[in-house]
């Protein structure tokens, strides 16, 4: 037996996922060339772990694996889960795997037709997801057999397959082994089925209890069935539990995958993956469209909605509670203030008239009633006009030297707000102040004084459009954060979804490398980014007329750099996070942190001192500042903040790429 040529030789294999969960416990396995090797064992005993270590998906902690084939294309690996792109047609699936295995398209079609007949598959144009579970499993087997590999590794291939077809499949295995000298390793739960194997490995507790041809096993243990043999050996193993407690676990040694890849990058494999990703994007166009439109739509919608009220914060329909202690403005007294003045209605009524042009006003008799209305949300603020408002205001205007505290208080409008709505409070405070000035100016004019006498001693040359200014200054950090987020989510979700469905495992076993996967992702993402940015720039700067004083090309370039950083962050997340839902959590955490720390929601200068260092460390903040300076100040790349923004985002990208690289090296051993 030791002279026999071995297709696979596993020696003293140790593997555990956690310190207490030893899966392979010094296992040794010898698979002869040109044989069917049935690997049997209870659920969870480590069969999949062993097979995935043979195909290089997992690395052993200690021990070695030698495989007679030299190239990955000589191996056909059928994972336990279906691991197929369920949105694709059978033909697309065949073409993808065929191309990864360097097959010509005509050969793929020819072989595909043969397998369709043999495995009784639906027509090539059928979508995989619309096939039954059993059919999908047979498609999975067809993909494994497509490139006619020399070594077949099949993890439970016959689950859910019709017994007649199952029999045909086994006959096929026996035939290809006999006629073509192939080697097949097969795991199955159906122990009787394994009788057809040339060699059987009975696995339990991380080791092989026996490894012999079935007739020898039956003879050696005096049993009629393999189940009985397994039972006998298991009972024996239980009895032989080591007395001195568990044996020590060997030191973890650096390990290499048993089968090397044909280079880290091959055009054929890259094209196969690219075409597959384009097909995926075509089939899932709604997701792509959403990603493309999100940044443009969000800000455009915000801009359209908020500028409705003359470019200012809206005051809304909720009334202001008015307490006019001077007059009810019904039976109005006419004030004769001085000879030089035109007789006037009470100033409080004139002010109220002014206010009514903009606010809904509800009158109350007392301050307490008005305050009560605010507390019950029937009004959003209280305006109190004092008794003798007109007379005291006249004294304040014309004879400031005799204006006592009583006069000053009596000519002051008292206002208080329910301050929950920031925008409304800002706008209302400004309107109440401007209208009171306007009323005093009217009084000054009535008394023959220049209106300017009652104006604030300041002239603001350019009248600010508040909402527009706020939106303009919010756009750079917001835009930067959203494009970073969308690229990060698109990248990490695409990779994790593909990995979790077993697609990566299968494609990598067929030869696709991590480098090829990443480069394809970059190319795909780049195409999406370009369309996303053209649309965003068109919406923002052509339709919505946001300000771009500097170079549009430089702004575009900066946004692309931010997206590359988002992509590299997405790569990093996809190698450290395994569950898709956790990417969603990471995404929410990222976007909220970015909004808070980059100045989208709150000025970075006004952040708490504890948060300020984080705000400066994340590369988006400085890049958003650079974008701000390009778009609103018209600065070019020669300005310190602009080029530092570029330097920072490049550093950020390099940082995430380095982290991804280290994680892959640490977790997967290599990029192939």
Ligand X SMILES: Nc1ncnc2c1ncn2[C@@H]1O[C@H](COP(=O)(O)OP(=O)(O)OP(=O)(O)O)[C@@H](O)[C@H]1O
Residues near ligand X (CB under 6 A)? 17, 23, 41, 43-49, 80
Helix (H) or strand (E) holding 583: helix 580-597
Kindly state the smallest distance separating residue 123's Cβ from ligand X, in Å. Answer: 31
- Three-class SS string for 569-581? HHHHHHHHCCCHH
Instruction: Tell me the C-alpha distance between 598 and 614, whole Å.
Output: 10
Max CA pair span of the chain:
132
What tokens does 331 get?
Answer: 């039976």
Instruction: Tell me the C-alpha distance between 193 and 226, whole Å.
Output: 10
Kindly state the smallest distance separating residue 16's Cβ from ligand X, in Å. Answer: 9
CA-based nearest residue to 55, from 503, 506, 502:
506
Helix (H, G, I), strand (E, B) or coil at 666: helix
Burial class (CB in 10 A: 0-12, 13-18, 19+), 440: buried
Instruction: Tell me the C-alpha distance between 265 and 268, whole Å.
Output: 9
Instruction: Tell me the C-alpha distance between 159 and 79, whole Å.
Output: 12
Q: Is the dihedral of CA 204, 210, 211, 215 positive or negative?
A: negative
Instruction: Tell me the C-alpha distance between 171 and 48, whole Å.
Output: 24
Instruction: Tell me the C-alpha distance between 219 and 669, whole Å.
Output: 44
What tokens does 347 get?
Answer: 């100033």
CA-based nearest residue to 186, from 174, 24, 261:
174
Instruction: Tell me the C-alpha distance between 143 and 120, whole Å.
Output: 14
CA-based nearest residue to 468, from 259, 308, 284:
308
Kindly state the smallest distance separating residue 210's Cβ from ligand X, in Å. Answer: 17
**Cβ–Cβ contacts within 10 Å for residue 368, how many?**
10
* Cα-based distances in Å from 599 to 154, 475, 533, 536, 624: 54, 10, 21, 20, 9
- Terminal C-alpha separation, the chain: 34
């Amino acid at each position: 037996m030791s002279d026999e040529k071995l297709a696979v030789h596993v020696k003293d294999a140790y593997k555990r996922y956690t310190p207490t969960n030893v899966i392979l416990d010094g296992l040794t396995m010898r698979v002869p060339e040109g044989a069917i090797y049935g690997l049997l064992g209870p659920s969870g005993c480590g069969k999949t772990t062993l097979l995935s270590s043979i195909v290089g998906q997992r690395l052993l902690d200690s021990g070695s694996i030698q495989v007679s084939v030299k190239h990955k294309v000589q191996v056909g690996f059928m994972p336990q889960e279906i691991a197929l792109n369920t949105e694709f047609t059978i033909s697309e699936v065949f073409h993808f795997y065929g191309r990864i295995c360097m097959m010509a398209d005509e050969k793929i079609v020819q072989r595909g037709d043969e397998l369709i007949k043999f495995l009784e598959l639906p027509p090539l144009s059928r979508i995989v997801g619309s096939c039954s579970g059993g059919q999908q499993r047979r498609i999975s087997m067809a993909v494994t057999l497509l490139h006619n590999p020399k070594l077949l590794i099949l993890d439970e291939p016959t689950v859910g397959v019709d017994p007649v077809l199952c029999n045909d499949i086994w006959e096929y295995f026996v035939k290809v082994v006999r006629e073509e000298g192939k080697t097949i390793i097969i795991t199955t739960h159906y122990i009787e089925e394994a009788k057809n194997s040339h060699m059987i490995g009975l696995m339990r507790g991380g080791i092989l209890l026996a490894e012999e041809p079935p007739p020898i096993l039956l003879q050696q243990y005096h049993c009629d069935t393999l189940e009985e043999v397994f039972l006998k050996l298991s009972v024996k193993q239980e009895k032989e539990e080591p007395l001195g407690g568990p044996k020590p676990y060997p030191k973890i040694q650096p390990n290499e995958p048993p089968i090397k890849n044909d280079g880290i990058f091959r055009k054929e494999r890259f094209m196969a993956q690219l075409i597959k990703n384009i097909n995926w994007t075509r089939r899932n166009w709604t997701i792509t469209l959403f990603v493309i439109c999100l940044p443009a739509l969000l800000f455009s919608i915000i801009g359209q909605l908020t500028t409705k009220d003359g470019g200012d914060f809206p005051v809304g329909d909720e009334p202001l509670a008015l307490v006019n202690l001077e007059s009810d403005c019904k039976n109005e007294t006419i004030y004769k203030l001085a000879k030089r003045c035109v007789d006037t209605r009470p100033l409080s009524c004139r002010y109220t008239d002014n206010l009514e042009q903009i606010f809904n006003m509800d009158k109350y008799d007392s301050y307490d009633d008005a305050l009560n209305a605010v507390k019950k949300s029937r009004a959003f603020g209280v305006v109190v006009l004092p008794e003798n408002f007109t007379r005291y205001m006249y004294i304040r205007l014309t004879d400031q030297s005799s204006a006592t505290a009583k006069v000053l208080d009596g000519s002051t409008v008292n206002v208080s707000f329910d301050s929950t709505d920031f925008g409304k409070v800002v706008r209302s405070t400004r309107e109440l102040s401007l209208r009171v000035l306007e009323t005093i100016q009217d009084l000054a004019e009535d008394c023959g004084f220049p209106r300017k006498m009652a104006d604030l001693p300041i002239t603001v040359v350019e009248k600010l459009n508040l909402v527009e200014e706020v939106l303009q200054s919010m756009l750079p950090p917001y835009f930067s954060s959203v494009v970073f987020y969308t690229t990060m989510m698109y990248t990490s979700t695409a990779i994790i979804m593909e990995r979790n469905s077993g697609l990566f495992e299968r494609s990598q076993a067929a030869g696709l490398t991590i480098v090829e996967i990443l480069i394809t992702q970059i190319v795909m993402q780049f195409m999406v980014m370009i369309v996303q940015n053209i649309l965003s720039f068109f919406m923002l700067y052509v339709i919505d007329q946001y300000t771009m004083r500097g170079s549009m090309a430089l702004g575009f370039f900066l946004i692309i750099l931010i997206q590359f950083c988002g992509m590299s962050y997405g790569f990093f997340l996809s190698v450290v996070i395994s569950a898709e839902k956790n990417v969603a959590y990471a995404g929410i955490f990222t976007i909220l942190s970015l909004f808070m720390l980059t100045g989208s929601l709150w000025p970075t200068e006004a952040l708490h001192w504890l948060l300020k260092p984080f705000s400066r460390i994340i590369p988006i903040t400085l890049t958003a500042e650079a974008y701000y300076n390009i778009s609103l100040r018209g600065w070019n790349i020669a300005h310190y903040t602009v080029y530092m923004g570029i330097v920072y985002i490049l550093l950020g990208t390099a940082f995430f790429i380095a982290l991804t690289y280290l994680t892959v090296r640490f977790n997967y051993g290599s990029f192939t």
